[in-house]
Amino acid sequence: MSGSETFERVAIIGIGLIGSSIARAIRAAGLAGHVACHDADSEIRARAVALDIVDSMHNTLAGAVEDADLIVVATPVGACGAVAQAMRDHLRPGAIVTDVGSVKGSVLKAMGPHTPEGVHLIPGHPVAGTEHSGPEAGFGELFQDRFAILTPPPGADEAAVARLSSLWRGMGSDVEIMDAEHHDRVLAITSHLPHLIAYTIVATAADLETELEAQPRDDDVVTTREVIKYSAGGFRDFTRIAASDPVMWRDVFLLNKDAVLEMLGRFSEDLTALQRAIRWDDGDALFELFTRTREIRRGVIEAGQAGRFQYTENGDSEDEA
């Protein structure tokens, strides 16, 4: 290895939004000598090859991971266990295995038992993304000024953690280390619950009237067409979040069930309290709460996490999570 190279050969398993962004970022910064790739879907493999973002594309998982000193599993979290099992006999001694899933406790549980002695499992999660999916949606700047959280199990090899951290820093991220359980609770409130709520409100709106009517009707029926038309009043921001990958999010909710249900319970209590304040005309309670929430926004802006992205004419976006 020479220059900024952190790994000789990185294998990326799953070349969707995140996997393809990692491939691009590694290439752009020259962080690896070779980027190998496998995706279970042959059509996705072909699309990634056409994009020319990896050095070698492999029809088999074994072919991709062979001789790799870093394997990045970038599949939906529900698939991590099966991937670990399928590649276990093909891993090079001393290799580091990581992932990018939004849930970490379940990844440790699913991959740990299939990780051979002498291979370092260090689960990870870049807190970055967009609502778009597929290899074409990725871009090399996705991780810049975002956090990459690593959740090494107790007793993990410190040199391996340092090397993986160095890769993420090379892609522009700030690296944070925490334990998997804590990660899952933090993400339950900062990411999983927001997505769950966004999905729900969009579904609620979609159910208002399944027939898309050409004209607004001056009666009680609110049509889905009207919801879309007047979405600039706030709804549209939820539709963006609710356009995220369905498989990824199904897995997240099922695999972080306990923390999600707990945060959802707190949210439901708070929503019921607000509902009661509206019903009983308690303007003071509403005003007090709406003032308090402004502080949090200020904190987000001050922390540099308010976003720095750009919508184009057709509503595409960059650098969003």
Per CB under 8 A, which of residues 238..257 are in contact with a second copy?
A: 238-244, 246-247, 249-251, 253-254, 257
Alpha-carbon distance of 130 to 8, in angstroms, equals 29
State which of residues 38, 104, 114, 185 lies at the interface with a second copy (CB under 8 A).
185
Q: Which two tokens stand for residue 106?
A: 């379940």
Three-state SS for 35? strand
If binding is defined by CB under 8 A, does position 296 make contact with a second copy? yes
Question: For residue 315, is it left (φ>0), alpha (ψ between -120 and 50) or beta?
Answer: left
What is the pairing mode between strands 56-58 and 32-38?
parallel
If binding is defined by CB under 8 A, does position 226 make contact with a second copy? yes
If binding is defined by CB under 8 A, does position 104 make contact with a second copy? no
Taking the least distance from each CB to a second copy, the nearer of 73 and 128 is 128
Taking the least distance from each CB to a second copy, the nearer of 50 and 300 is 300
Q: CB–CB of 181/154 below 8 Å?
A: no
Tell me the sheet residues that pair with 36.
11, 56
Per CB under 8 A, which of residues 263..292 are in contact with a second copy?
A: 263-264, 266-268, 270-271, 274-275, 278-279, 281, 283, 286-287, 289-292
CB of 148 to a second copy, least distance (A): 11
Taking the least distance from each CB to a second copy, the nearer of 43 and 207 is 207
Interface segment toward a second copy; rule CB under 8 A; list 36-44, 62-70, 91-99, 308-316: 308-316
CB of 58 to a second copy, least distance (A): 28
Please state, as a whole number, how many other Cβ atoms lie within 10 Å of the Cβ of residue 102: 27
The alpha carbons of the chain give a radius of gyration, in whole angstroms, of 22
Q: Which of 31, 181, 189, 161 is nearest to 96 (CA)?
A: 161
H or E element, residue 70: strand 70-73
Per CB under 8 A, which of residues 77..96 are in contact with a second copy?
A: none
Taking the least distance from each CB to a second copy, the nearer of 51 and 186 is 186
Alpha-carbon distance of 298 to 183, in angstroms, equals 23
Count of residues engaged in binding a second copy, rule: CB under 8 A: 113
State which of residues 4, 94, 204, 213 lies at the interface with a second copy (CB under 8 A).
204
Please state, as a whole number, how many other Cβ atoms lie within 10 Å of the Cβ of residue 169: 16
If binding is defined by CB under 8 A, does position 139 make contact with a second copy? no
Taking the least distance from each CB to a second copy, the nearer of 57 and 80 is 80
CB of 21 to a second copy, least distance (A): 14
If binding is defined by CB under 8 A, does position 195 make contact with a second copy? yes
Q: Which of 79, 195, 190, 198 is nearest to 127 (CA)?
A: 190
State which of residues 34, 49, 66, 235 lies at the interface with a second copy (CB under 8 A).
235
Alpha-carbon distance of 235 to 110, in angstroms, equals 37
